Amino acid sequence: MDSTALAGVRVVDFTWVWAGPYCTKQLADMGGEVIKIETASRLDTVRREPPHKDGEFGINRNATFSFYNRNKLGCTLNLKTPGAMELLTELISTCDVVVENFAPRVMPSLGLDYPSLKAIRPDIIMVSLSGFGGAGPYKDYVSYGEHASNFSGLTSLSGLAERPFGDQSALSDQTVGLMGAFASVSALHHRAKTGEGQRIDVSQYEAMASFLPQGIMDYSLNQRIRERQGNRDDILAPHDVYRCSGDDQWVSIAVATDDEWAAMANAMGHPEWSLDERFSEALQRWSNQDILDELIQEWTEQHTHYEVMHTLQAVGVAAVATLTSDELMEDPHIKDRGFFVEVDHAEMGPHMLTGPSWKMSETPGRIKRGAPLLGEDNEYVFGQILGFPSDKLDDLTERGALH
């Protein structure tokens, strides 16, 4: 028996690129049967780039696609071909959730807006993820993660004041994906109590703006526009990233109390710093961050990032090494928790993927399979789940419907 949290939940996945697939990835990791609908006539952009480790491009040999689409079943349907919509209608009638991240005009143009889906299955849950949401004067504007980060105000607060805005596009896509997954589970809980489905409209820029309370409240209360301040904090000091010995090694350090600062100064071999009137209390440290950061970096540059982390953590100071991808995969703590999971793939071969981001004692998520090849599960979904005879599927294949 499948003990995963979403076992028995079936999802039709129309998503592509990053934000939508990240949403449905969460549902698949938690045991949902996610069926990804694609067409060879218009491939998911991420299927084509970047290439696999051997440098060859291929629609099934893609590291990013593998990460965002593991645990999913893959089907091809060309909805412009006669017969394809019949299959899709049958499939939707057996599903609990439909997820898409097209521009708001796309699903209605296909005859797949919420009223149409509700006519197929009255308690269906439809999740729409778009840049500006499904209503409002900008609803049809084209948008990607980078644009949502800009429009939400995030990039205006990211980076150093003397440098251009920092790009946060990946964060934006993953944030809206997580919110879409959370909303999906909430709607499933509501349906279990009431029997009612619903439409969920997730705006990418609104998802990002909800993470910016300081800037919004500062303007709302004080009519003051916040500026970029790099890694520094409004209250804590020191609070920054410091260069260490070695090639491009860094460590992040944050001190919350005077006691932590005294412990840090002592660990660095300079207990007198905690008595220095420039640094003895939080306000003084915050007001003298330039000289404080110089002194700290003079010490960190004599040690590796791991040495600094372990030395300061031993005395209760929040310090964490800034890791590269290879360091992350080899870190003993990460290995001990089993975060990375090896997955075998028909064309890419064995490779490592990150596991679920949370661990549940009774209904843990897991990686059961890698990302699907294009159309890999057509026979299982349309033949076994829906019960269409093989001769009809063969005919639809010849006519290009399963393409």
CATH number at residue 20: 3.40.50.10540
| Domain-located, residue 126 | yes
How high is the pLDDT of residue 211? 81
Q: Is the pLDDT of residue 346 over 90?
A: no
Please tell me whether residue 333 adopts helix, strand or coil conformation: helix
Same domain, 304 and 383: no
User: pLDDT at position 57, please?
Assistant: 55
Question: Residue 52's pLDDT band (boundaries 50, 70, 90)?
Answer: low
The C-alpha torsion from 250 through 256 and 262 to 265, rounded to 10°, is 10
Candidate list 173, 201, 240, 293, residue with the active-site label: 173
What are the pLDDT digits (tens) for 76-120?
999 999 999 999 999 999 999 999 999 999 999 999 999 999 999
Q: Are residues 141 and 271 in the same domain?
A: no
Residues 64 and 193 in one domain: yes
* Residue 250: inside a domain: yes
pLDDT greater than 80 at residue 338 = yes
Number of domain units in the chain: 2
Domain boundary among 322, 357, 380: 322
Q: Does one domain contain both 175 and 31?
A: yes
Asked if residue 55 has pLDDT above 60, the reply is no
The per-residue pLDDT of the chain, averaged, comes to 92
Residue 241: which pLDDT band, with cuts at 50, 70 and 90? very high
* Same domain (yes/no): 74, 179: yes
Residue 165 lies in a domain: yes
Is residue 398 pLDDT above 70, yes or no?
Answer: yes
Tell me the whole-structure pTM to 2 decimals: 0.91
- Distance set, CA 382 to CA 39, 74, 309, 370, 391 (Å): 15, 11, 54, 20, 12
Are 198 and 55 in the same domain?
yes
- Kindly tell me if the per-residue pLDDT of 135 is higher than 90: yes
Residue 137: per-residue pLDDT: 94
Six-digit token string for 284: 């003084």
Residue 1 confidence class, pLDDT cut points 50, 70, 90: low
Q: What average pLDDT does the segment 346-371 reach?
A: 91
Query: For residue range 363-395, what is the model confidence (pLDDT) as tens digits?
Result: 999 999 999 999 999 999 999 999 999 999 999
Look up the domain containing 301 and give its range. Answer: 239-322
pLDDT at residue 206, rounded to an integer: 92
Which long-range contacts link 206-209 to residues 24+ away (Cβ below 8 Å)? 206/133, 206/152, 207/148, 207/152, 207/172, 207/175, 207/176, 207/179, 208/148, 208/149, 208/152, 208/153, 208/154, 208/168, 208/171, 208/172, 208/175, 208/176, 209/152, 209/153, 209/154
* 223 found inside a domain: no
**pLDDT in the model for residue 8:** 96
Q: Which residue intervals of 268-365 are DSSP H helices?
A: 282-287, 289-300, 305-313, 325-330, 332-337
Tell me what the mean pLDDT of segment 174-189 comes to. 96
Which of 272, 288, 322 represents a domain boundary (last residue)? 322
H helices within 94-168, ranges in order?
106-109, 114-120, 145-151
218 within some domain: no
Write out pLDDT tens, residues 301-326. Answer: 999 999 999 999 999 999 999 999 99
Whether residue 248 sits in one domain with residue 170: no
Answer yes or no: do 77 and 185 share one domain.
yes
Read off the pLDDT of each residue in 189-194 and give the average, rounded to a whole number.
Answer: 98
Distance (Å, rounded) from C-alpha 67 to C-alpha 352?
Answer: 9
Establish if 217 belongs to a structural domain: no
Residues 30 and 163 in one domain: yes
Residue at 330 is within a domain: no
Report how far Cα 278 is from the mean position of its chain's Cα atoms.
Answer: 42
Percentage above 90 pLDDT, the chain: 74
Q: What is the pLDDT of residue 307?
A: 98
Residues 284 and 166 in one domain: no
Say whether both 56 and 84 belong to one domain. Answer: yes
Task: Tell whether 252 is covered by a domain.
Answer: yes
What per-residue confidence (pLDDT) applies to 5? 95
Q: Which residue has the higher pLDDT, 232 or 2?
A: 232
pLDDT score at 166: 64
Q: What is the CATH number of the domain that holds 289?
A: 3.30.1540.10
391 among known catalytic residues? no
Q: What is the mean pLDDT of residues 144-165?
A: 78
What was the pLDDT predicted at 143? 86
Does residue 251 sit in the same domain as residue 384? no
- Residue where a domain stops, chosen among 289, 322, 355: 322
Give the pLDDT of residue 172. Answer: 83
pLDDT band, residue 61 (cuts 50/70/90): confident
Whether 344 has a pLDDT exceeding 70, the answer reads: yes
